[in-house]
A and B are shown apart, each in its own frame.
Chain A
Amino acid sequence: MSVLLIAEHNNKELRPFTLNAATAASHIDNDVHAVIIGHNCEEAAKALSKLEFIKKVIQVEAAYYENFVAENFAPVIVKLADNYSHIISSANTFGKNLMPRIAAALDTSQISDITKVIAPDTFLRPIYAGNAFATVKSKDEKKCVTIRPTSFDACESTGGSASIEKAEASEEFSKTKFVKREEVKSDRPELGTARVVVSGGRGMQSGDNFKLITSLADKLNAAIGASRAAVDAGYISNDHQVGQTGKVVVPDLYIAVGISGAIQHLAGMKESKVIVAINKDGEAPIFSVADYGLEADLFEAVPQFLEELNKLNTIQK
Chain B
Amino acid sequence: MKILVAVKRVIDYNVQIRVKEDNSGVVTDNVKMSTNPPDDNAIEEAVKIKEAGKATEVVAVSIGEEKAQETVRKALAVGADRGILVKTEGVVEPLSVSKLLQKIVEKEKPDLVFMGKQAIDDDCNQTGQMLSALLNWPQATFASKIEIKDGKLEVTREIDEGLETIEINVPAIVTCDLRLNEPRYASLPNIMKAKKKPIEQLNASDLGVDISPRIEQIKVEEPPKRKAGIKVSSVSELVQKLKNEAKVI
Contacts of B157 on A, CB cut-off 8 Å?
93
Which of B125, B139, B167, B214 lies in contact with A112, CB distance below 8 A? B125
Q: A100 to B13, Cβ gap below 8 A? A: no
Q: A263 to B220, Cβ gap below 8 A? A: no
Does any Cβ of B come within 8 Å of A43's Cβ? Answer: no
Which of A98, A135, A175 lies in contact with B137, CB distance below 8 A? A175
Interface extent on A, as a size class? 35 or more
Does any Cβ of B come within 8 Å of A71's Cβ? Answer: yes
Task: Knowing A109-B95, A136-B216 are in contact, say whether A128-B229 is a contact too (CB < 8 A).
Answer: no
Please, what's the 1-or-0 string for B137-150, where 1 marks a CB less than 8 Å from any CB in chain A? 11101100000000
Contacts of A110 on B, CB cut-off 8 Å?
94-95, 124, 126, 130
Residue of B nearest to A266 (CB): B16
Please, what's the 1-or-0 string for A117-133, where 1 marks a CB less than 8 Å from any CB in chain B? 00000100111111111
Please, what's the 1-or-0 string for B95-136, where 1 marks a CB less than 8 Å from any CB in chain A? 110100000000000000000000011111111111111100
The B interface, classified by DSSP as helix, strand, loop or mixed, is mixed
A82 to B138, CA, bound (A): 25
* Nearest CB of B to A145, in Å: 11
Q: A136 to B217, Cβ gap below 8 A? A: yes
Q: B154 to A179, Cβ gap below 8 A? A: yes
* Nearest CB of A to B152, in Å: 9
Q: A292 to B238, Cβ gap below 8 A? A: yes
A122 to B13, CA, bound (A): 28
Interface extent on B, as a size class? 35 or more
Q: B215 to A111, Cβ gap below 8 A? A: yes
Q: A128 to B26, Cβ gap below 8 A? A: yes
Contacts of A97 on B, CB cut-off 8 Å?
129, 139, 141-142
Q: B168 to A109, Cβ gap below 8 A? A: no
* Nearest CB of A to B13, in Å: 5
Interface residues of B in 1-19 (CB under 8 A from A): 11, 13-17, 19
A132 to B223, CA, bound (A): 5
For the complex of A and B, list the 9 residue pairs with the smallest distance between their C-beta atoms, beginning with the closest.
A100-B129, A109-B214, A104-B130, A131-B17, A104-B133, A100-B126, A184-B162, A304-B235, A179-B165
